[in-house]
Amino acid sequence: MRVGFVGLGAMGRPMAMHLLQAGHALSVWARRPEAAAALVEHGACRCGTPAELAAASEVVITIVTTSRDVEDLAFGAHGLAAGFERGGIHVDMSTIAPTTARALAARYAQLGIGWVDAPVSGGEQAARAATLAIMAGARAEDLERVRPLLLALGQTLVHVGEVGAGQVAKACNQMIMVAAIQAAAEAMHLANAHGVDLARVRTALMGGSAASRVMEIIGGRMVDRDFAAGIQARLHHKDFGLVLAEAARLGVPLPIAAQVAQQLDTLMSNGWGLDDTASLLRVLERVRVGAG
């Protein structure tokens, strides 16, 4: 297929490379030319604007940071909508508000353009290994057209429901995952207060019902005090802003999510937004030191 790709960061770059390796004709657009250099060397075509990218593509995949970023790419100056032919499809793999996904899909529908929201879980490691978990919200016929592309990027693909449903599933994923990171941080903080070896505590927990990928990966970073970014905490902070905004809009109480959001606020205020979310342990340590 003729595929366009926007969002050539730590996750997007290996995802785009998988599409090239699968034999698709890839076009790319990036604000920073150097971000696309490796893909161009491997045969991708560099485009000058998002509109030019869409004109060269049957499907455009985007994975960027915020709802506003996606809106600007789609309908901003020289945006994708200006270049798509009728029948084109925009697959957005970013994590954005469900309301934004539905609004963009409705605008595209007036132009005869399809939409698939397909946020992912698994992080940079899964992006490199093409083992992402993909949660899709779309019309069935639109998803079927892009299924081969998504299966080149992920290990699991679930059609959650209509447009926006993929983003709802991703919000649920983030709530559970980051709450688990907070729980792991509190467990490590308690063990440390007792003077117990954290590595052994983690090993014990991994053998019992507390075992999880969060305890394995993020708990390991807490034990090693390796706070260099695996996934930057600012992204989880952004995601929880989306979660709480939707909860307020719908009148849905989310007490644990609200408490975790406060911890993420404190993390950000300490300047750790570019570090890993394992830094929630440092938030607890900072509070304890301050109280002492």
Give the pLDDT confidence score for residue 44 in this predicted structure: 96
Cα–Cα distance for residue pair 222/198, rounded to 1 Å? 9
Cα–Cα distance for residue pair 32/34, rounded to 1 Å? 5
| β-bridge partners, 138 | 116
Domain with CATH 1.10.1040.10 in the chain: 168-291
Q: Which overall architecture, per CATH, does domain 2-162 show?
A: 3-Layer(aba) Sandwich (3.40)
pLDDT in tens, 101-135: 999 999 999 999 999 999 999 999 999 999 999 99
Give the pLDDT confidence score for residue 288 in this predicted structure: 59
The residues annotated with a catalytic role in the active site are: 170
Cβ(236)–Cβ(264) below 8 Å: yes
Domain with CATH 3.40.50.720 in the chain: 2-162
- Residue numbers of the chain with a pLDDT score lower than 70: 288-292
Helices (H) and strands (E) in the chain, counts: 14, 9
Give the pLDDT confidence score for residue 292 in this predicted structure: 46
Cα–Cα distance for residue pair 226/10, rounded to 1 Å? 19
Give the pLDDT confidence score for residue 231 in this predicted structure: 87
Q: Which two tokens stand for residue 25?
A: 């004709």
Residue 34, SS3? helix
Topology of domain 168-291, CATH = N-(1-d-carboxylethyl)-l-norvaline Dehydrogenase; domain 2 (1.10.1040)
pLDDT in tens, 30-42: 988 889 999 999 9
